Amino acid sequence: MGRRLLYITNGITGAGGLERVLSVRTRLLAERYGDEIHIMTLNEEGKEPFYDFFPGIYVHDVRMQGRPAARLKAWAYGVRKTVRTVEPDVIAVCDDGFKGFWMPLLLTGCRCPIVYERHVSRLIQADGLKSSAVRSVEFAMMRFLGKRFSRFVVLTPGNREEWPMDNVEVIPNPLPFYPPVPSSGEARRVIAVGKISPQKNYGALLEAWKKVHGIFPDWKLDLFGAEADGGKLREEIRREGLEGSFLLHPPTREIMQEYLGSSICAMSSRYEGFGMMLAEAMACGVPCVAFDCPCGPGDIISHGEDGLLVPPGNVDELAASLELLMGDEKLCASMAAKARENVKRYAAETVTARWDGLFRRMLEEGKEGMP
């Protein structure tokens, strides 16, 4: 008989990396370790998950309406009610917002271990309109509250440095797929994946592409991601006259096939929590060119061996690195083979086994601490 696990998150119907990671990990925990999986969501009743979740999971949706105070009250009540109903052995909080940090205080008296999963860099705080003073106070509160979790799990060693606490552990994201046959590398196509937002910095990628397109006019760049910028990037592409080579597409469930139909992957992010796109592309035998931003690309890519890292924000170097791979099929093929081999360390089975080990240790620690 497995454990009863409760994941507390905002939702599972989106097309983001967190939703994909949860679908992969919870499926393996249920199938391989016999765990009973419960997921608490917010305002998603009647909606279908974007990714393929294990059919045996239990979803507990909490309805939040009205003004912020009323919504927060409904959330707190929903959390306590769900915990009482499920009686979990372990609670995992997958909420990168500020409210998730209050869970240990909200559940005072709960005797099961509570794990916090951090899926973004703390640099996300800098994207808002808050002043630096407000951000500093907010982070101090996050760290104060973060110490109260049984474990605080981050995705990369770089993320660990952002959180100077004794309860931090590093467990990377799992690969959602590893196709038996990699990309042929024959398509004159670059791929990028991720929501169009300030974090992803696609304006820099477009600037680089302007330079690349003049040298390699028969190549195309396909970007898959929700347009969360009010159409600004699409308008920039139109102004530059690149509608025929820099193409925008909505998120797709068949993203593996899109990687397999590409030869190079490009990332222009200002920061990442992990950089799932890089690992996914490498699993498909597609070498990556990425800004060496915090946090993730430098952990995933071995520069010059299985991909290329570029100084953050350096558009000229980004363009030059893309041109290098586009113009050298032998180098591209060599990096593709290395990428596919090196990324195996993120195999879903390997990463999920680390979560199983963490849950086992925490439950043993709990037994030792009982009177």
Domain with CATH 3.40.50.2000 in the chain: 4-174+347-368, 189-346
- Is residue 286 pLDDT above 90, yes or no? yes
In which residue are the tokens 């003049």 written? 214
Higher pLDDT, 367 or 69: 69
Q: If pLDDT is split at 50, 70 and 90, which confidence band does 126 have? A: low
- Is residue 132 pLDDT above 90, yes or no? no
Mean of pLDDT values over 112-134: 81
Mean of pLDDT values over 16-35: 96
Q: What is the 3-state secondary structure (H, E, C) of the chain?
A: CCCEEEEEECCCCCCCHHHHHHHHHHHHHHHHHCCEEEEEEECCCCCCCCCCCCCCCEEEEECCCCCHHHHHHHHHHHHHHHHHHHCCCEEEEECCCHHHHHHHHHCCCCCCCEEEECCCCHHHHHHCCCCHHHHHHHHHHHHHHHCCCCEEEECCHHHHHHCCCCCEEECCCCCCCCCCCCCCCCCCEEEEECCECHHHCHHHHHHHHHHHHHHCCCCEEEEECCECCCCHHHHHHHHCCCCCCEEEECCCCCHHHHHHCCCEEEECCCCCCCCHHHHHHHHCCCCEEEECCCCCHHHHCCECCCEEEECCCCHHHHHHHHHHHHCCHHHHHHHHHHHHHHHHHHCHHHHHHHHHHHHHHHHHHHHHCCC
Mean of pLDDT values over 277-288: 98
- Is residue 362 pLDDT above 80, yes or no? yes
Amino acid at 187: A
Which CATH architecture best describes the domain 4-174+347-368? Answer: 3-Layer(aba) Sandwich (3.40)
Mean of pLDDT values over 242-263: 97
Quote the pLDDT of residue 33: 97
Quote the pLDDT of residue 131: 73
The torsion of the CA quartet 239, 241, 247, 250, rounded to 10 degrees, works out to: 30
Q: Which CATH class is domain 189-346?
A: alpha beta
Mean of pLDDT values over 147-170: 95
Quote the pLDDT of residue 81: 97
CA angle, 305 then 220 then 275, to 5°: 45
Mean of pLDDT values over 266-270: 97
Q: What is the mean pLDDT of the chain?
A: 95
- State pLDDT tens for residues 321-344: 999 999 999 999 999 999 999 999
Which residues, other chains included, contact 367 with Cβ-Cβ below 8 Å and sequence gap of 6+?
none
- Is residue 130 pLDDT above 70, yes or no? no
The phi-psi region of residue 275 (left if phi > 0; otherwise alpha if psi is between -120 and 50; otherwise beta) is left
In which residue are the tokens 């909420």 written? 95
- Is residue 128 pLDDT above 80, yes or no? no
- State pLDDT tens for residues 310-322: 999 999 999 999 9
* Partners of 309 in beta bridges: 290
Quote the pLDDT of residue 225: 96
pTM for this model (two decimals): 0.93
Contact indicator for 174, 26 with CB cutoff of 8 Å? no
Contact indicator for 363, 90 with CB cutoff of 8 Å? yes
The rounded distance, in Å, linking the Cα atoms of 351 and 336 is 22
